[in-house]
A and B are shown apart, each in its own frame.
Chain A
């Protein structure tokens, strides 16, 4: 019988622990498909972060190190400097990358560290039960912003792609989404480019993926996907924020 659909080789058989409707599963699959298509499984080393994706090391069929909260880009720097022939990527959430790990994010970009960063932005701390994140939208209700995020009291969300686009070292920055099939396909193309850039020695490439958290948003998976389109994307516009090698790019 002809096989019409199968699991990418770069994913293990371990059952994912993610909540029903969470988009981490889609993103894991996209990364694994890219690893398969580029034929880099044997040379790839992943760096897991702290948050819902902490156990990513169990799901990808590649060598993995589990980093402390926010430190994945620093750990990835060490792995890549140790052996530049390896393909090194981090997988980080918004609390990890844009709050506690802001310095590591900015400076690994500034160094044009030749790594790939997959940044999952679902505007909330999922693993710890739904607290306000650096990317929580103004007015959004979370466990630690029960009356809605009051920007006068706690400040504004961090727009990571916009911020890093001011950093000379960053080579490629794109924000994508996985809320429908068309956007999933675009997300995969961006992830593939971010890995290909590393193979080509082009330096720091980050893909921000606007994602969902039905459990902690307190909505159905379907409503969560609609919330991405109606509320998240107006605040976090999709697109390429920087590509220094593109036509008309800076280099």
Chain B
């Protein structure tokens, strides 16, 4: 390896998952993520792995639970309506503290919505889409290379913390082709003494379970899980800053919108407007520290989203509403253009 190859984002996820030691994939066809399944269906039989097209997204996520219980790396992928169906299983994964990778290549909604790119599952992904108190680790790639690297990172974080890591990619990320390098990696394995491997008549039986009928026990489990989440918020937040040193206006964007925002920033800078960007790479944990540092420096923030304004709430919380936060958005499968963003920069006082 070490060679760059041209790949679709969806294929990069699949190949990176294999490099990360994932040998079990369960899916169900849905646009625009089907290439993940197609790639896995070709590769898995050649390397002794499992590719299984389930009868539904619900069945697929429950097959994921089975493999995760047995202690192996496992994943599923889908797009927005299918991810809604998986929420039951994702809640059970959280309640059982099981590691797994779930990929959402988002399309427009609600309902059947459309098949063009969207970021409107932000709330579902970051605020826990299923029932109960829990979080998923949410990683937002902004290039095909990151589709690969964050997939590997996702498996590592899922194993490290015993929870679901979700790749939240918009449809553009899944469909676009870019040069990518996916090297063989040293797989970081963790001990899983809780895994269902059979007692071998040598130990007490292991139980993977999310049922606690005694309320004081269930409360305790929730407290413990939130101690883990607090540690993750402290240690695992990831972000990229772009031209923020002297920025007066801070754009906030992830995924494809961050790519468009960079173009807009370059054009604005050429006109002398001091604008920069914070790109959250982890959406949960949201990189609050990056914002704390810039809240006093900048006079305004602009959340650039392909949703009706979901991430904007986290931006406001991160800067504790010290400065105005504006929304620049397109939805329904439409992508903001650099012009859309430039006119918003003008509107919020960035015009020279």
A and B form one complex: yes
Task: Tell me the A residues contacting B by CB distance below 8 Å.
Answer: 12, 41-45, 47, 54-55, 57-58, 60-68, 71, 74-83, 86, 103-104, 106-107
Known A-B contacts: A43-B200, A65-B209, A74-B66. Give 4 more (CB < 8 A).
A65-B207, A65-B208, A78-B70, A79-B67
B residues 59-114 touching A (CB-CB < 8 Å): 59-60, 62-72, 74, 88-89, 92, 96
In the complex, the answer to whether B207 meets A57 with C-beta atoms within 8 Å is yes
Task: Tell me the B residues contacting A by CB distance below 8 Å.
Answer: 24, 26, 50, 52, 54-56, 58-60, 62-72, 74, 88-89, 92, 96, 196-202, 205-211
In the complex, the answer to whether B199 meets A81 with C-beta atoms within 8 Å is no
Closest chain-B Cβ to A187's Cβ sits at a distance in Å of 24
A106 to B50, CA, bound (A): 20
Residue with the highest number of chain B CB atoms closer than 10 Å, among A64, A74, A79: A74
Closest chain-A Cβ to B306's Cβ sits at a distance in Å of 32
Instruction: Identify 6 residue pairs between A and B in the complex whose beta-carbon atoms are under 8 Å apart, listed by A's number.
Output: A43-B198, A62-B199, A63-B197, A75-B65, A78-B63, A81-B66
A45 to B70, CA, bound (A): 9
Residue with the highest number of chain A CB atoms closer than 10 Å, among B54, B62, B64, B210: B62
A47 to B65, CA, bound (A): 11
In the complex, the answer to whether A77 meets B197 with C-beta atoms within 8 Å is no
A234 to B56, CA, bound (A): 35
Supposing A63-B207, A66-B209 touch, asked if A104 and B50 sit within 8 A by C-beta, the answer is no
In the complex, the answer to whether B198 meets A45 with C-beta atoms within 8 Å is yes
A62 to B60, CA, bound (A): 25
Supposing A62-B198, A63-B197 touch, asked if A79 and B69 sit within 8 A by C-beta, the answer is yes
Q: Which residues of A contact B68 (CB under 8 A)?
A: 78
User: Which A-B residue pairs are the 9 nearest by beta carbons?
Assistant: A78-B66, A74-B62, A82-B70, A107-B55, A78-B63, A63-B196, A71-B62, A79-B66, A42-B201
A235 to B147, CA, bound (A): 56
Q: Which residues of B contact A65 (CB under 8 A)?
A: 65-66, 69, 96, 196, 207-209
In the complex, the answer to whether A63 meets B198 with C-beta atoms within 8 Å is yes
Closest chain-B Cβ to A10's Cβ sits at a distance in Å of 10
In the complex, the answer to whether B24 meets A67 with C-beta atoms within 8 Å is no
Chain A contact residues: helix, strand, loop or mixed: helix
Partner of A76, one of B66, B72, B199: B66
In the complex, the answer to whether B69 meets A78 with C-beta atoms within 8 Å is yes
A82 to B65, CA, bound (A): 11
Q: Please, which residue of chain B has its CB at the minimum distance from the CB of A47?
A: B66
In the complex, the answer to whether A86 meets B89 with C-beta atoms within 8 Å is no
Q: Please, which residue of chain A has its CB at the minimum distance from the CB of B49?
A: A81
In the complex, the answer to whether B66 meets A68 with C-beta atoms within 8 Å is no
In the complex, the answer to whether B198 meets A104 with C-beta atoms within 8 Å is no
Q: Which residues of B contact A58 (CB under 8 A)?
A: 207
Q: Which residues of B contact A12 (CB under 8 A)?
A: 205
Partner of B196, one of A77, A79, A81, A106: A79
A47 to B70, CA, bound (A): 12
Residue with the highest number of chain B CB atoms closer than 10 Å, among A54, A57, A65: A65
Q: Which residues of B contact A104 (CB under 8 A)?
A: 55, 58-59, 62
Closest chain-B Cβ to A128's Cβ sits at a distance in Å of 14
Q: Please, which residue of chain B has its CB at the minimum distance from the CB of A60?
A: B205
Q: Which residues of A contact B96 (CB under 8 A)?
A: 65-66
In the complex, the answer to whether A61 meets B205 with C-beta atoms within 8 Å is yes
Closest chain-B Cβ to A97's Cβ sits at a distance in Å of 14
Q: Please, which residue of chain A has its CB at the minimum distance from the CB of B64?
A: A78
In the complex, the answer to whether B202 meets A42 with C-beta atoms within 8 Å is yes
A66 to B196, CA, bound (A): 12
In the complex, the answer to whether B24 meets A57 with C-beta atoms within 8 Å is no
In the complex, the answer to whether B59 meets A83 with C-beta atoms within 8 Å is no
A81 to B201, CA, bound (A): 22
In the complex, the answer to whether B196 meets A103 with C-beta atoms within 8 Å is no
In the complex, the answer to whether B88 meets A107 with C-beta atoms within 8 Å is no
Closest chain-B Cβ to A174's Cβ sits at a distance in Å of 24
Q: Which residues of B contact A74 (CB under 8 A)?
A: 54, 58-60, 62-63, 65-66
A147 to B321, CA, bound (A): 60
